[in-house]
Amino acid sequence: MADRQRVISTGRTRVFLLCGAGFLSGMLVCAGIFLVGTKGEPEPLSPSNTLLPVSYAVPSASPVSPHQVQEEITQSRRNAIVTAAQRAKPAVVSIGVTVTRAYRPLDPFYDDFFDSFFREFFYPRRYRQEIPRIGSGFIFDERGYILTNQHVINGAEEITLTLSDGRQYKGSLVGEDRASDIAVIKIEGQNLPPVELGDSDNLITGEWAIAIGNPFGNLIEESQPTVTVGVISATNRSFRPETSQQHIYRDMIQTDAAINPGNSGGPLVNAEGKVIGINTFIFTRSGGSLGIGFAIPINKAKRVVEELIRYGKVRPVWYGFQAQDVTPEFAQALSLEQASGIIVTYVEKGSPAQQAGLAKGDVILEADGRRIADAEDAKLMFYSHLVGDSITITVLRKGKSQTLTMVLEEYK
């Protein structure tokens, strides 16, 4: 009986100890959870401390070779500007012109009275001097036609052209037009690389503009042209012709791409490598570029080129009327709000002006949608047109506005 009680007592003790141990373990677990919670949010698991099967392990990045890095850098350098310049450069030529000037040297013993008295008995002492001049141009036709400015070849006795690959040719003048400042030259050669002509009527202010030319001429051995980059700053810039200037610059393209001396006649190219203008002149105080350059729109040049190649010149235009400025006295007599426009003083019979319905006493206020301020504006407007052009004219006749259409004819 005593043994049985001892066994029961021992069993109870083991059960008690097991229960106590379980209770103690539970308390420790709770305490651990409590302690972890008091330290803040648990740290998120990252790939470095997450146990994943081998098949799901994160792969490491493959190393990039120096060759791949260099190739990526090279590709990034070949942007749209580089591509466009490479397309147009082979067609750009350097133009060397020789002009002979007659002059009379300064003579400290020169006597005007003596010269006037003996002029009939002695030949005047005059000398001739060859003056070199440089400019640029570009091949626009594989037959060897080259486009440039008229002032580049003005008075030239000899024209030498150097291509970007070093080949040299003697050029012949096909035709020139002083008013538009455009000239066409031709060379005889094989495998001549023409440049593609673009559309200057769809220019966007702010788009890329690339001026290409050769400002050094033959001063350096390298025949490759130079490239300057900017944007289209503005379009439709027109300038009043000066008294001594015979060029009429109308609807010019303005760009901040540097146009240096010697670049005249070179192409202004867009980001597609197409010619949109002919680099012509700059505004400058020091002789260098101030970021204000102007180019003749290529669409205008195309029409002049057709005239020069076909006729050797730009055919003179017949208008058939004369006009003068509207003075304040005229304005008051005609009940005009301001003295602007031109008043027609004469209309020739059978002329384009008469066929359009223009009459003496009409006041021309606008032409092709542009307001005419005075006779200089009218000259800039009418003299920039070619034979066959149609001009829409707004006139004031007896206090009423009328619209007339004049088709220009060749003056014979």
The pLDDT tens digits of the residues spanning 218-228 come to 666 677 899 99
d(CA 261, CA 371): 34
**Bridge partners, 218 (sequence order):** none
Report if residue 39 sits inside a domain.
no
Q: Are residues 288 and 330 in the same domain?
A: no
d(CA 7, CA 19): 18
Per-residue pLDDT of 162-200, as tens digits, reads 999 999 999 999 999 999 999 999 999 999 999 999 999
Q: Which of 181, 256, 362, 377 is catalytic?
A: 181
Q: Which of 151, 180, 200, 256 is catalytic?
A: 151
d(CA 172, CA 226): 25
d(CA 317, CA 411): 5
- The residue among 314, 341, 370 that closes a domain is 314
pLDDT at 215: 75
Q: Are residues 295 and 329 in the same domain?
A: no
Percent of the chain with pLDDT over 90: 52
Query: How would residue 146 be classed by pLDDT, with cut points 50, 70 and 90?
Result: very high
d(CA 240, CA 243): 9
264 is catalytic: yes
Residue 150 sits in a domain whose CATH number is 2.40.10.120
Higher-pLDDT residue of 123 and 209 is 209
Per-residue pLDDT of 270-322, as tens digits, reads 999 999 999 999 886 666 667 789 999 999 999 999 999 999 999 999 999 99
Q: 62: which 2 tokens?
A: 């493959």
pLDDT at 45: 40
Q: 372: which 2 tokens?
A: 């005419």
Please count the structural domains in the chain. 2
- The residue among 263, 288, 314 that closes a domain is 314
181 is catalytic: yes
Q: Is the pLDDT of residue 31 over 50?
A: no
d(CA 340, CA 323): 13
Amino acid at 189: G
pLDDT at 202: 94
Q: 306: which 2 tokens?
A: 């057709």
Place of tokens 């040297």: 105
Nearest to 207 by CA among 162, 245, 256: 256
Higher-pLDDT residue of 256 and 112 is 256
Q: Are residues 250 and 344 in the same domain?
A: no
Per-residue pLDDT of 369-405, as tens digits, reads 889 988 888 888 888 899 999 999 999 998 899 999 9
Q: Are residues 105 and 178 in the same domain?
A: yes
The secondary structure of 240-264 as a DSSP string is PPPTT------SEEEE-S---TT-T
CB neighbour list of residue 112: distance below 8 Å, 6 or more residues apart: none
- The residue among 265, 299, 314 that closes a domain is 314
151 is catalytic: yes
Q: Are residues 341 and 201 in the same domain?
A: no
Per-residue pLDDT of 48-92, as tens digits, reads 444 444 444 555 556 778 777 777 777 777 788 999 999 999 999
Q: 155: which 2 tokens?
A: 């008075």
Which 3 state secondary structure label does DSSP give 380?
helix
* Residue 122: DSSP 8-state: S
**Bridge partners, 254 (sequence order):** 234, 294
Give the H or E element holding residue 96: strand 92-103
Which 3 state secondary structure label does DSSP give 381?
helix
Q: Are residues 261 and 138 in the same domain?
A: yes
Enclosing domain of residue 204: 70-314
Report if residue 29 sits inside a domain.
no
Q: Are residues 246 and 326 in the same domain?
A: no
Q: Are residues 217 and 96 in the same domain?
A: yes
CB neighbour list of residue 155: distance below 8 Å, 6 or more residues apart: 99
Report if residue 358 sits inside a domain.
yes
pLDDT at 28: 46
The count of other CB atoms within 10 Å of the CB of residue 274 is 18
Whether the CB-CB separation of 182 and 149 falls below 8 Å is answered with yes
Whether the CB-CB separation of 227 and 89 falls below 8 Å is answered with yes
Query: How would residue 351 be classed by pLDDT, with cut points 50, 70 and 90?
Result: very high
CB neighbour list of residue 63: distance below 8 Å, 6 or more residues apart: none
Strands (E), 171-292: 172-177, 182-186, 208-213, 226-237, 252-255, 267-269, 275-282
Strand pairing of 172-177 and 321-325?
A: unpaired
pLDDT at 200: 97
CB neighbour list of residue 239: distance below 8 Å, 6 or more residues apart: 249, 250, 252, 380
Per-chain mean pLDDT for the chain:
81
Query: How would residue 22 be classed by pLDDT, with cut points 50, 70 and 90?
Result: low
Q: Which of 180, 223, 233, 264 is catalytic?
A: 264
Please calculate the CA angle 200-300-138 and round it to the nearest 5 degrees: 80
Query: How would residue 118 be classed by pLDDT, with cut points 50, 70 and 90?
Result: low
pLDDT at 269: 97
Q: Are residues 322 and 309 in the same domain?
A: no
pLDDT at 193: 96
Q: 101: which 2 tokens?
A: 């000037």
Q: Is the pLDDT of residue 108 over 70?
A: no
pLDDT at 168: 93
Which 3 state secondary structure label does DSSP give 79?
coil
Q: Is the pLDDT of residue 237 over 70?
A: yes
